[in-house]
Amino acid sequence: LVDVDEVVQEAVDLMLTLAEGKHMSFRVSAAEGLYVYGDGSMLVTALTNLLTNAIAYSPEDTRITVVARRLEDVVEISVSDQGRGISPEDQERVFERFYRVDAARSRATGGTGLGLAIVKHICANHGGEVTLWSREGHGSTFTIRLPRAQVESDGVDPSTSLVAVQPGAKE
């Protein structure tokens, strides 16, 4: 059982120094009591890949917003930036391995074009998906959606211990 709030905090903490180097700030909003099944360190990797991109492909003095919230039986984690954005044609391709927009210009930012392919892979392994919304010149939002793990404390006092309900079991 993975605590989504912990995953978000850990990923953001890992990226603070890199963001500070570009005078970028984070705004983080993560609901407590949200859980998913899976591998916490893999999910941290997925988020740090998205955050690395948000930092790399945005100008200085911009903000990155991370929101984790519950939508029915889904946990949604979104990473939004105020960067260069991605054209509709490229939006269809950026999750492919080794695909980089304008490879010549992005050579300065290093990268092999694997980051988003890894994010997609990790999400699929967790029974979820990653989607992209972007407007060129304005910014991008990557959204990870994962099945929410139900815990016995759902709807009761959050101070009681958390016990996972069997996946697939009726409520």
Interface contacts to ligand ATP, rule CB under 6 A: 49, 53-54, 57, 81, 83-86, 94, 99-101, 106, 111-117, 140
Of 26 and 37, which has the nearer Cβ to ligand ATP? 26
Please state, in angstroms and rounded to a whole number, the distance separating the CA atoms of residues 150 and 160. Answer: 14
* Mask for 82-121, x = binds Mg ion (CB under 5 A): ---------------------------------x------
- Which residue is nearest to ligand ATP, using beta carbons? 115
Of 46 and 151, which has the nearer Cβ to ligand ATP? 46
4 contact choice in ligand ATP, Mg ion, none (CB below 5 to 8 Å, kind-dependent): none
Q: Per rule CB under 5 A, is residue 58 in the interface with Mg ion?
A: no
Please state, in angstroms and rounded to a whole number, the distance separating the CA atoms of residues 71 and 137. Answer: 29
Residue 144's DSSP bridge partners are: 77, 130
Report the b/e string of 55-80 with b at 16+ CB within 10 A: bbbbeeebebbbbbeeeeeebbbbbb
Per DSSP, the three-state class of 72 is coil
Please state, in angstroms and rounded to a whole number, the distance separating the CA atoms of residues 13 and 48. Answer: 10
Residue 108 C-beta: closest distance to ligand ATP, Å: 11
Residue type, 96: E
Q: Per rule CB under 5 A, is residue 53 in the interface with Mg ion?
A: yes
Residue 81 C-beta: closest distance to Mg ion, Å: 12
